[in-house]
């Protein structure tokens, strides 16, 4: 086989095996191109979008899909009868540099199946990053997967070369992990998370004292859990995510709707739809926690352990708390306005800026670009309509009637022929 065909085949196998890791961020780092080398990392750019609508920002590949573990949900599990391949360090370096120079990517996201043992695998990942940084003066974004069980020294070295490190928690509960990934245990995942958190804080302190302190994982750490493969509620998932944000200073928690890839009877059968609506609702809830000032217990709690699928979590919260509405948009604080369904962060900022000049009425609000047909039930205003005492279910049905959900097709029980 000619060299170019072999590399094409490896790329197809090792990109295919890496695609279930949904992390795509290339932001949060501020690595500059100070050495007249190649690349920089800043705000993150999505260079392409696949036909499933997901962003392509990094060259996301496995170093190898050979794996000694047998995690039921993973396509690269030991017992799966698939083609195996492995890149050399130089091949990954060449692909990264040549894709980067053509402006295809923001950088590299390198993960791997576990071959031999954790340290042996981690060492190979680190050596790719080191080679890119030192031999090729590459300043683009590098995200390395941390292999659970790798030594602190290797994790530390990874942080010196990479912008972001991540350890996937894989399953929302230890019970599910034990059921589906008998070779893994949660302690092996939490330990390096704690180690990274401390190392990042320590690095920030040192940087305050000595400007010359080298960067250490400037884009922080993230994690991912598979959802829909096991019976956890959204309550369990979001409380765990909230813990990651609070306890480990995670930059991101990713929720990966399980794509059925196995006939294993511990898992949803092949052909079961990917839980895309639920995944979307979890991300919306995640955004509410990180950017809208919501506490996790306001979104999900023991009375409401599941997110609604037909409406978004902010609207669900508002309908459960109608006593807090209507809000006077000419007087209320920003943090109250940003909680109104139909008003996002930018609109809330605009409202707070614009009302200093004159009283805002419903015509103004519509021009400012808020989703007025949704917000109108929750704001006090100059028109008669909203003053009626609607019941939450009435408001919900009005709003549902107005817009076509982007997921409507998925709600339909009918089979689509075309």
Residue ranges of E strands in 103-146: 107-111, 141-145
Q: Which of 1, 23, 25, 54 binds other proteins (CB under 8 A)?
A: 54
The answer to whether 350 contacts other proteins (rule: CB under 8 A) is yes
H or E element: which one contains 60?
Answer: strand 58-62
What 3-state DSSP class applies to 145?
Answer: strand
Length of the chain, in residues: 418
Residue 54 or residue 175: which is nearer to other proteins going by CB? 54
The answer to whether 6 contacts other proteins (rule: CB under 8 A) is no
Residue 40 or residue 284: which is nearer to other proteins going by CB? 40
Mask 225-264, x = binds other proteins (CB under 8 A)?
A: --------------------------------x-xx----
> Parallel, antiparallel, or unpaired: how do β-strands 379-380 and 58-62 relate?
unpaired
Mask 306-345, x = binds other proteins (CB under 8 A)?
A: ----------------------------------------
Q: Which of 6, 82, 90, 98 binds other proteins (CB under 8 A)?
A: 98
The pair of structure tokens assigned to 36 is 């007249």
> Parallel, antiparallel, or unpaired: how do β-strands 164-166 and 221-227 relate?
parallel
The pair of structure tokens assigned to 48 is 């392409």
Residues 6+ apart with CB under 8 A from 299: 238, 285, 288, 289, 307, 313, 317
Residue 200 or residue 370: which is nearer to other proteins going by CB? 370
Residues 6+ apart with CB under 8 A from 44: 25, 26, 27, 28, 57, 106, 141
Q: Which of 6, 30, 48, 246 binds other proteins (CB under 8 A)?
A: 48
Q: Which of 1, 50, 81, 265 binds other proteins (CB under 8 A)?
A: 50
Distance CA 394, CA 137 (A): 61
Residue 207 or residue 355: which is nearer to other proteins going by CB? 355
The pair of structure tokens assigned to 46 is 């999505």
Range in contact with other proteins (rule: CB under 8 A) among 154-162, 175-183, 358-366, 376-384: 358-366
What 3-state DSSP class applies to 272?
Answer: coil
What is the closest distance, in whole angstroms, from the C-beta atom of residue 305 to other proteins in the complex?
A: 26
**Contact footprint for other proteins (CB under 8 A):** 4, 7-8, 11-12, 15-16, 18-20, 32-33, 36-40, 45-56, 59-60, 95, 98-99, 101-104, 137, 257, 259-260, 274, 276, 350, 353-354, 356-358, 360, 364, 367-369, 406
């Amino acid at each position: 086989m000619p060299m170019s065909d072999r590399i094409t085949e490896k790329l197809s196998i090792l990109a295919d095996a890496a695609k279930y890791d949904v992390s795509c961020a290339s932001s949060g780092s501020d690595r500059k191109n100070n050495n007249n080398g190649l690349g920089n990392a800043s705000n993150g750019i999505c260079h392409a979008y696949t036909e499933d609508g997901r962003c392509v920002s990094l060259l996301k590949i496995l170093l190898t899909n050979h794996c000694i573990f047998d995690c039921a949900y993973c396509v690269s599990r030991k017992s799966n009868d698939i083609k195996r391949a492995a890149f050399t360090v130089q091949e990954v370096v060449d692909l990264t540099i040549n894709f980067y120079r053509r402006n295809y990517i923001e950088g590299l996201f390198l993960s791997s199946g576990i071959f031999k043992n954790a340290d042996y695998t981690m060492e190979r990942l680190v050596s790719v990053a080191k080679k890119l940084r030192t031999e090729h003066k590459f300043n683009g974004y590098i995200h390395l997967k941390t292999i659970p069980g790798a030594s602190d020294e290797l994790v530390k070295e990874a942080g010196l070369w990479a912008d972001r490190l991540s350890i996937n928690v894989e399953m929302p509960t230890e019970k599910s992990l034990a059921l589906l990934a008998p070779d893994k245990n949660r302690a092996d995942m939490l330990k390096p998370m704690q180690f990274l958190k401390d190392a990042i804080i320590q690095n920030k302190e040192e940087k305050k004292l000595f400007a010359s302190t080298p960067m250490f994982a400037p884009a922080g750490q993230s994690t991912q859990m598979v959802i829909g493969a096991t019976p956890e509620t959204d309550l369990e998932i979001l409380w765990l995510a909230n813990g990651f944000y609070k306890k480990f200073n995670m930059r991101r928690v990713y929720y990966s709707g399980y794509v059925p890839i196995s006939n294993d009877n511990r898992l949803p059968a092949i052909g079961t739809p990917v839980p895309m609506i639920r995944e979307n609702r979890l991300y919306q809830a995640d955004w509410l926690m990180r950017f809208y000032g919501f506490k996790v217990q306001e979104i999900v709690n023991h009375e409401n352990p599941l997110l609604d699928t037909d409406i978004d979590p902010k609207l669900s919260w508002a309908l459960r708390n109608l006593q807090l509405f209507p809000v006077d948009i000419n007087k209320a604080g920003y943090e109250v306005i940003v909680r109104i369904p139909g008003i996002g962060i930018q609109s809330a900022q605009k409202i707070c800026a614009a009302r200093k000049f004159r009283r805002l009425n419903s015509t103004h609000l519509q021009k400012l670009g808020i989703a007025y047909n949704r917000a109108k039930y929750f704001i006090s205003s100059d028109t008669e309509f909203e003053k009626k005492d609607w019941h939450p279910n009435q408001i919900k049905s009005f709003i549902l009637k107005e817009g076509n959900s982007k997921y409507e097709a998925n709600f339909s029980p009918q089979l689509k022929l075309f």
